[in-house]
């Protein structure tokens, strides 16, 4: 078990960890599919999204709004239809209304009673501003991909967060759902990490984040949700 007393701050991935991104993505894309007579499951949509969005963040940095537009176009190309311009914007325009998981807000308030809180998210400033209103928590620090000029798993994003907090990375605990983008990156950067495996116990080969199905994440601790983590911390 981790010694939670040694940490002064908690850093969080946002989408997939705090925000139910899979429901948000499916809700945004489903009307586009229906409008063009395309029948595709939410699971298939998520797999397409994950593959195309991941490719869109590789190479030279570009803002996440542009990545989301390219992702919608890529999904539509794969499904062999051309979206309207308004449909291309569906992910970016809806992102700020994607909802927190049921345990998120209460857990964040409990964490805030002991630790400084920081967001490290692969998103633009204005996009996260919409999300922040749904979380009802004033984070002490917010580090976006736009500010870092890079996307996780780059160490640059973690380094910027640690620099702004002014806290040694050994005293910061990273909490995230994505193994590839967050857990492995935080660990290789020198931070301890908690894997929030919200799909634990479900019969699937891993989430659209490419997470392992065998629980071998390399994290220092695995929990099924943030409520469980808060309870383990005695909060």
Neighbours of 203 (CB within 10 A): 6
Exactly one of 13, 103, 124, 192 is catalytic; which is it? 13
What residues are paired with 193 via a beta bridge?
174
DSSP, residue by residue, 19-60 = B-HHHHHHHHHHHHHHHTT----HHHHHHHHHHHHHHHTSSS
Residue 228 CA to residue 110 CA, distance in Å, equals 12
Parallel/antiparallel/unpaired status of strands 9-12 and 172-176:
parallel
Q: Which of 130, 111, 121 is nearest to 173 (CA)?
A: 111
Residue 137: both structure tokens together = 């928590």
Q: Which of 199, 232, 227 is nearest to 214 (CA)?
A: 199
Inter-axis angle of helices 64-78 and 21-35, to 10 degrees? Answer: 50
Q: Which of 182, 16, 160, 178 is nearest to 95 (CA)?
A: 16
Residue 148 CA to residue 156 CA, distance in Å, equals 7
Q: Is 20 a catalytic residue?
A: no
Catalytic residue ranges: 13
């Amino acid at each position: 078990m981790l010694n939670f007393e040694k940490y002064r701050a908690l850093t969080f991935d946002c989408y997939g960890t705090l925000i139910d991104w899979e429901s948000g993505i499916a809700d945004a894309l489903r009307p586009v599919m229906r409008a063009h007579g395309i029948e595709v499951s939410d699971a298939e949509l998520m797999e397409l999204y994950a593959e195309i969005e991941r490719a869109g963040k590789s190479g030279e940095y570009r803002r996440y709004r542009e990545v989301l537009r390219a992702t919608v176009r890529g999904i539509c190309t794969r499904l062999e239809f051309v979206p309207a311009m308004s449909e291309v914007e569906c992910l970016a325009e809806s992102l700020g209304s994607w909802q927190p998981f049921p345990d998120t807000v209460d857990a964040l308030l409990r964490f805030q009673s002991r630790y400084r809180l920081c967001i490290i998210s692969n998103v633009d400033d204005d996009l996260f501003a919409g999300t922040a209103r749904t979380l009802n928590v004033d984070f002490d620090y917010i580090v976006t991909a736009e500010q870092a000029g890079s996307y996780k798993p780059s160490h640059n994003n973690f380094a910027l967060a640690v620099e702004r907090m002014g806290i040694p990375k050994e005293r910061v605990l990273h909490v995230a759902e994505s193994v590839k983008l967050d857990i492995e990156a935080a660990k290789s950067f020198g931070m301890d990490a908690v894997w929030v495996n919200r799909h634990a116990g479900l019969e699937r080969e891993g989430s659209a984040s490419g997470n392992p199905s065998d629980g071998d994440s390399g994290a220092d601790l695995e929990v099924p949700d943030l409520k469980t983590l808060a309870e383990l911390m005695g909060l």
